[in-house]
């Protein structure tokens, strides 16, 4: 019998090893599902999702009253302002009787808030407090999606106000439509038939799940500062909605059986249970966002915590591959590539490509368009760009901001060795332009059969 370590090593190789092209489609999908589950468990246990959820709880406590007052102020014109408390009761159902008390207090705070007496400064603080929660949500979702560039101030302001103003109208419209449909005479007659009645009753029980799934899907599509495809957002929304409803049921059981909290914390028990439920809700929202992210970007399903750290030679290969792809599209007259295109073609994570693209932009080899997402174009004639310039761009990126090579004390022998190495690179690649490289690549592609899609990086190139 083989030692346990050998079995673990084989299992690790099976799950995280280099992709086997001989596997069937269903085997590949099953392996991808196993990887996704393991990565999600790792992120929940060791990642920053829990810290982000805690931060959102704190911001929610500060901004929940101004946020709801601003969101539901537009509902006064539609005559449904009185429906705020029932909606809060639905959201706080897992708290049981304590949820009724929390909903009543929040509704009283909102009703007593008089915007007219706040003044210009008070109104500004009200808007800032309400929008700060939206900003914190976007920052958390951008973290899940590995995005470092936030939206512009104007775009954030318009999106936040759209969610705050239009969101409540859509929610109450969906709830009102559901209630109206159940009160139509034709629907009641159909429910009188036992078979159809059972089906309609089942559908009515699924409506809360469908509404939560729709809300989660909308958040994943609208909030992150990237182009999220509908299918990954729907998968993430479905996972998040089901987990949220299940967590609500479990939390309700927990509250019903935790009478000792009132004895220990007295009047603070309601606040503590409310904070715990907020934490669970935000954590579920971020969990669903992680599911959507890994569905859209399976290249991030690799073993090891944190982001992959690339070696110098991998960065150089990526830089030459990117510049070759851009030049080939330029020569053939095809549309320029975006960051998602590079991710799909090269099979590497977005943030890795972003660093390489930033290095090429800093040396004015590439430039970005104003599209959304931006397209990457050649900044100069490819005939005037040598391969040694491309390699020099990724090798020297960040030196001016952090540490310059001239500031490092070295001996004359080391300087001579480095000078010889650079001279050898210039002599070998200094006369080869990007156009020549792209034409050689096109000629080799025309002669050879169509290659298989690029596989994700091997574990050897990852931490």
Domain boundaries defined on the chain: 49-300, 312-401+408-461
Instruction: Give the per-residue pLDDT at 135.
Output: 84
> Computed from CA positions of residues 170, 174, 179, 180, in that sequence, does the dihedral angle turn out positive or negative?
positive
pLDDT in tens, 361-388: 888 889 888 777 788 989 888 888 888 8
Contacts (Cβ under 8 Å, ≥6 apart) of 447? none
Residue 288 has pLDDT above 60, yes or no: yes
Residue 178 has pLDDT above 60, yes or no: no
The whole-number average pLDDT for the span 242-263 is 77
pLDDT in tens, 58-94: 888 877 777 776 666 666 555 555 566 666 677 777 7
Q: Which two tokens stand for residue 397?
A: 């990126």
Instruction: Give the per-residue pLDDT at 119.
Output: 58
Q: Is 24 helix (H, G, I), strand (E, B) or coil?
A: coil
Question: Distances in Å between the alpha carbon of 162 and those of 113, 134, 187?
Answer: 22, 11, 34
Question: What kind and span of H or E run contains 63?
Answer: helix 49-72
Biggest CA pair distance of the chain: 94
Angle at which helix 387-396 crosses helix 434-447, to 10 degrees, equals 110
Residue 361: Cβ-neighbour burial (10 angstroms; 0-12, 13-18, 19+)? middle
How large a percentage of the chain has pLDDT more than 90?
Answer: 6
Residue 155 has pLDDT above 90, yes or no: no
CATH of 312-401+408-461, one of 3.40.50.80, 1.20.140.160, 1.10.10.10, 2.160.10.10: 1.10.10.10
Using alpha carbons only, give the angle 161, 166, 171 rounded to the nearest 5 degrees.
135
Provide Rg for the chain, Cα atoms. 28
Instruction: Give the per-residue pLDDT at 459.
Output: 40
**Least confident segment among 206-210, 362-366, 454-458:** 454-458
Q: Which two tokens stand for residue 452?
A: 């298989």
Residue 173 has pLDDT above 80, yes or no: no
How large a percentage of the chain has pLDDT more than 70?
Answer: 68
Contacts (Cβ under 8 Å, ≥6 apart) of 65? 106, 109, 110, 113
Asked if 68 and 107 touch (Cβ cutoff 8 Å), the reply is no
Residue 442 has pLDDT above 70, yes or no: yes
pTM: 0.69
Residue 307: Cβ-neighbour burial (10 angstroms; 0-12, 13-18, 19+)? middle
Strands (E), 288-384: 337-338, 366-368, 375-378
Asked if 140 and 56 touch (Cβ cutoff 8 Å), the reply is yes
Instruction: Give the per-residue pLDDT at 456.
Output: 47
Asked if 216 and 236 touch (Cβ cutoff 8 Å), the reply is yes
């Amino acid at each position: 019998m083989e030692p346990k370590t050998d079995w673990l090593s084989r299992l690790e190789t099976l799950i995280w090893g280099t992709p086997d092209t001989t596997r069937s489609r269903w085997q590949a999908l099953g392996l991808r599902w196993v990887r996704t589950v393991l990565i999600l468990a790792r992120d929940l246990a060791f990642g920053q999702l829990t810290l982000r959820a805690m931060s959102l709880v704190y911001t929610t406590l500060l901004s929940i009253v101004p946020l709801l007052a601003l969101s539901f102020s537009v509902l006064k014109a539609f005559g449904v302002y009185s429906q705020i408390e029932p909606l809060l009761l639905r959201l706080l159902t897992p708290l049981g009787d304590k949820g009724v008390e929390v909903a009543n207090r929040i509704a009283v705070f909102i009703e007593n808030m008089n915007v007219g007496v706040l003044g210009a400064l008070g109104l500004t603080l009200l808007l800032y407090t309400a929008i700060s929660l939206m900003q914190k949500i976007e920052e958390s979702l951008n973290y899940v999606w590995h995005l470092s560039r936030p939206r512009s101030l104007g775009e954030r302001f318009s999106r936040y106000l759209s969610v705050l103003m239009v969101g409540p109208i859509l929610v109450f419209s969906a709830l009102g439509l559901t209630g109206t449909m159940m009160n139509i005479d034709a629907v009641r007659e159909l429910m009188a038939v036992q078979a159809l009645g059972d089906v309609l009753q089942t559908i009515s029980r699924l409506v809360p799940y469908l509404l939560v799934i729709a809300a989660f899907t909308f958040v994943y599509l609208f909030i992150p500062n990237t182009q999220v495809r509908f299918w990954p957002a729907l998968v993430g929304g479905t996972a998040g909605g089901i987990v949220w409803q299940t967590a609500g049921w479990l939390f309700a059981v927990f509250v019903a059986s935790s009478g000792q909290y009132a004895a220990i914390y007295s009047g603070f028990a309601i606040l503590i249970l409310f904070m715990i439920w907020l934490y669970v809700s935000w954590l579920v929202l971020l969990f669903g966002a992680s599911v959507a992210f890994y569905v859209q970007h399976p290249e991030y399903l690799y073993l090891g915590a944190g982001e992959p750290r690339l070696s110098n030679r991998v960065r150089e290969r990526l830089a030459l591959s990117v510049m070759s792809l851009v030049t080939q599209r330029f020569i053939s007259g095809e549309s320029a590539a975006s960051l998602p295109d590079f991710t799909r073609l090269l099979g590497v994570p977005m943030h890795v490509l972003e660093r390489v693209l930033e290095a090429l932009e800093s040396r004015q080899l590439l430039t970005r368009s104003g599209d959304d997402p931006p397209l990457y174009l050649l900044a100069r004639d490819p005939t005037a760009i040598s391969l040694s310039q491309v390699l020099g761009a990724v090798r020297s990126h960040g030196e001016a901001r952090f540490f310059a090579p001239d500031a490092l004390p070295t001996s004359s022998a080391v300087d001579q060795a480095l000078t010889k190495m650079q001279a050898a690179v210039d002599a070998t690649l200094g006369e080869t332009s990007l156009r020549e490289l792209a034409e050689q690549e096109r000629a080799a592609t025309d002669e050879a059969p169509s290659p298989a899609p690029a596989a994700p990086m091997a574990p050897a190139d990852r931490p």
